[in-house]
Chain A
Amino acid sequence: MRSCLAMIIIALLAIATGCNGSGPAVAAGAEPAIRTNVGPIPGASSASIGQKDPYANDPIAAENGRRLFVWYNCYGCHGGHGGGGMGPSLRRKHFIFGHRGAQIYDSIAEGRSRGMPAWGTKIPSGQIWQLVAYIQSLRTPQEPDPPTEPANEQVPNPMHNNRIAIGTQSQH
C-alpha cells in the first residue's frame, strides 16, 4: 500500500514537472489564452468567457452605434440596415462567430478572414461597443432608424407608357 502511494506521488510529480517544462501553468483566476472561441470547446459546457458588455440594452449607445455604422462604411458591406451584402446579414439570430456582445466585439476588433477588416487598431473600444449595441438592437423594438417601407410601389406611375406591347406573352 505504501509503495503504491509513493508511486502515485512520483507519477503526479512527474506530470507536474512535465507541465512546467512544456508550457505556462494554468493557475486559477488567470486570464484565459483567448477571449472568443471560434471552434467548439472541449469538455463539458461552460458559460461564455469574455468581457462584460458595457452598453447592453442602452438605447443611446445603439443610436450612436447606428451613426458609426454609417460613418465607418459598415452599411456598404452589411446592408443599409444590416441585412447583408458583401458581408453577412447582422439581422439573423445566428452569427458565424457568435452573437453575444463580446463575440461581436471581437469580430469587429480582430477582423475575420473573409474580408472583415480588423477595426481594433483604428477605432476606440467605446465606439466598438456602441456598434455592438446597435447590432444587438436590430430586429428589436429598440432598433434606431429601422428599414421602413414606403408604399410607393402600390401607387400607379402616371409616367408609365408601355411601349413594348407587340407579341407579348406571359409565362406565368
Chain B
Amino acid sequence: MRNFGNSWGLFAKWTAVVLSGGYLALAGAQNTPKTPKGMTTSIPGELPGIHLVSPVPDGQWILPAGDFANTRYSPLSQITNKNVQSLHVVATMSDGIDHGQEGQPLVVDNTLYWVTPFPNNLIAYDLTRPGFPIKWTFQPHPSRRAVGVACCDTVNRGASYARGKIVYNTLDDHTVAVDAKTGKLVWETAVGSIRYGETETMAPLVVHGIVYVGISGGEMGVRGRLTALDLKTGKILWRAWSTGSDKDVRIGPGFHAYYPKDQGKNLGITSWNPGQWKHGGGPVWGWISYDPELNLIFYGTGNPGPWDADMRPGSNHWTCTIWARDPKTGYAKWAYQIVPHDSWDYDAIMENIPVDMPWHGKQRKLLLHPARNGYMVVMDRTTGQILSAEPFVHVNWANGFNLKTGMPNINPNKRTHAGKYTMNICPSSTGGKDFIPSSFDPQTGYLYIPAHNTCMDYEGMSVNYIAGTPYLGASVRMYPGPGGYQGKLIAWDVATAKPVWSIKDKLFPVYSGVLSTGGGLVFYGTLEGWFRAVDARTGKVLWQFKTGSGIIGDPITFTGPHGKQYVAVFSGIGGWMGASDFPSISADDPYATLGANGAMRNIKAYTKPGDTMYVFAL
C-alpha cells in the first residue's frame, strides 16, 4: 500500500510541475519527469515520428480513456495476437441493473471501480483477493425524476481518479468525489437541474486539480456548458457556456478562430433569433481530452435545440463546435464549428485525440476527431485548422469540406425543414459513429473507429419550449444504410486518410468502445454481445466470447497485483440505440426512441438487458 501511496505522491508532484507552468519543459519527450506508476511514456514499437503527448496506461487505468489524450491505447503486451486464443473469463460481476452500461471501469491501487447506470452506485472490488470480492459500495441516491429527462437511457460513462478521489457524475446533475480507499463521500456539488431537463451522463476529466464536467440535454432545450470544479472542495471555479455572450462563452483577447466564419463578436447571441440561444442546446456530454505539452483541453459541443432547424435561422454558434481552452482559466484559444446550423443532430462531442505525427511530409501537432457527421476530421490542434476531412461511412448530407473556409459542402437536398420529410439522409442522427470512443494505436498509426451504417427520414416540426419536457421538434425514422450491413469496425490509417480494413456487422451498429494494446490486438464488442480480439494490422478476428448482453461499454486492460495482464469490459445493452431492447419500447413505432427504434427493432430477438462486468486473462 505504501508503495502505491508514494507513487501517487509522485503523480501529484508531476501534475504540480505541470500546474506551475513547468509544462513547457515537457515539450521534448526526453525532458519528461518521472511518470507515475501505472502509466508510461515509453511505447515500444511506436511508428517513427509518432509521439503521444500523454503517458499511457501501463498497469492501472485511472482516467476514462486511460490517458489524457483519449488514445485508449495500452502498451501491455502479455496478451498478444499469438496467445489470445487462450484468453478466458476469470471473474464476472453484476450490478443488478437492466439499463445500458456505457463507459469503463477504473483500476487504481489494486482496486477495480465500477460506476453503474442510474442510481449511479460506485462499487469497489479488491483485485488482491481471489474472485475480486466487493470492498464497498457508495450509493449517492439520485432523484428518480432524473430518469424521465434522460434522453437516451439512464447511462453513465465513468469516473476519473485523482489525488485519492474517484470523481463522477450522477444522473440528477451532481458531481461527487468519493474517497478511493474508504468509499466515503468527500464532496458533492450540484452542476445542473433536472427541472430544466438537464442530466449528467459524461465522465469528468481531472487535470491539475480541476474537475471538468459537462451537461446533457440537447433534446430538452438546455443551455450547454463546461463547468470547472476545484478537486479539493468541489467549489465551482468557472463555467464556459456553449451559447451567449463572449464573456459567458469565455472568449477573451487570447482567442483566435482559424476560419472567418467563426470570427466575430458575441456569435453565441448574434447567430440566433433574439433570445433563442437561452434554450439553444450545445450540451457537453462527450469526452474531454488534454494535451500537457500545449496545456490545452479539447472538447466538443452537441446539437442545437430544437431539432427543427427552420425555427432557428443562423449558424447557431457555438453548438456543434470543437473547442481548445486553457485548463486553468477556461478561456478559449480557438474554436471550430464543424456543422453550422445543424439540421440533423450531428453533435460534435466525439473524442478529440491529440497526436504528434508526420503529416504530408511535415511533423504536425494533430487533433483526430472521428465526427458523428461521418467525416474523419484531422485538425492542427495549435490553430484549429482542418487539414483533412474524409468520410469513413456512407455520407450524403455533404460533399466533403472546403478546407479553405472550413465549411462543409452541404447537399441542399438533404437539408431538413419543417413540415417536410427529407428522405434517405446518411448518416442518421446517431451518426457515422456515436460518442462510443475510438482508439489510436501508435504501433500501426491506425484509428480504430466503431462505426454505424444507418440512414434516416427526418421531418422538422415546430415545438413549444416547456421547461423539463423535450424541446425536440422533429419526427425521425432510421433504418439500415445501403450495402446490407449496419455497423463496422474500421481501421483508419491516419497518415493516408484511408481505411485499411473493416469488420462488418450485418445486424447492428458497432456501439462499443475500442481498446488497442501493445500485444498487437484490438478489443471491441457487438450489440449482440460478442466480445472480440482482433489482429490490429490485418483485422482478423482471433478470439471471441459471447457475453450475457449487448456490449455498449469500453474495454480496458490492466495489470493485477501479481503482474498478470487482464482485460475487462461491461456487457449490458441500452443507450440510445440499445434502448430498443427494453420491454418499455414497442417495436411497431419506428419513430420511437428519437427515431433509432426504426433501425433497432429486431434487437429483442438477439439479446436481453442486464449489466455484467467480465474480466479476462490468459
Contact = CB atoms under 8 A, between A and B. Distances in A.
Given A77-B469, A89-B585, A115-B148, A169 B504 contact: yes
A72 B394 contact: no
Interface in B487-541: 488, 490, 499-507, 530, 538-541
B510 to A, nearest CB: 11
B593 A73 contact: no
Contacts of B490: 164
Contact of A84 (B219, B488, B584): B584
A116 to B, nearest CB: 6
Interface stretch (B234-242, B253-261, B295-303, B477-485): B477-485
A155 B605 CA distance: 25
A117 interface: yes
Interface in A110-154: 112-117, 139, 147, 149-150, 152-153
A104 to B, nearest CB: 16
Contact of B589 (A84, A117, A167): A84
A76 interface: yes
B50 interface: no
B483 A162 contact: yes
A83 B589 contact: yes
B470 A91 contact: no
Interface residues on B, range: 35 or more
Interface residues on A, range: 35 or more
Q: Which of A77, A84, A86 has the most CB of B within 10 A?
A: A86
Contacts of A115: 144-150, 194
B389 to A, nearest CB: 14
Given A81-B591, A160-B394, A172-B507, A167 B148 contact: no
B396 A83 contact: no
Nearest to B479: A153
Contact of B148 (A114, A166, A169): A114
A79 to B, nearest CB: 3
A139 B530 CA distance: 35
B592 A171 contact: no
A17 interface: no
Given A76-B470, A84-B589, A89-B586, A152 B538 contact: no
B396 A114 contact: no
Contacts of A85: 151, 579, 585, 592-594
A98 interface: no
A73 B145 contact: no
A80 B591 contact: yes
Contact of A75 (B426, B472, B485, B501): B472
List the 3 shortest-distance A-B pairs measured between CB atoms, nearest first: A115-B148, A76-B470, A83-B589
Interface of B: 144-151, 194, 219, 391-392, 394, 396, 423-424, 426, 455, 457, 461, 463-464, 466, 468-472, 475-477, 479-483, 485, 488, 490, 499-507, 530, 538-541, 579, 582, 584-595, 597
Given A84-B586, A169-B503, 15 more contacts: A76-B472, A77-B470, A79-B593, A80-B589, A81-B591, A83-B593, A84-B585, A85-B151, A91-B589, A113-B144, A153-B479, A164-B490, A169-B540, A171-B505, A171-B530
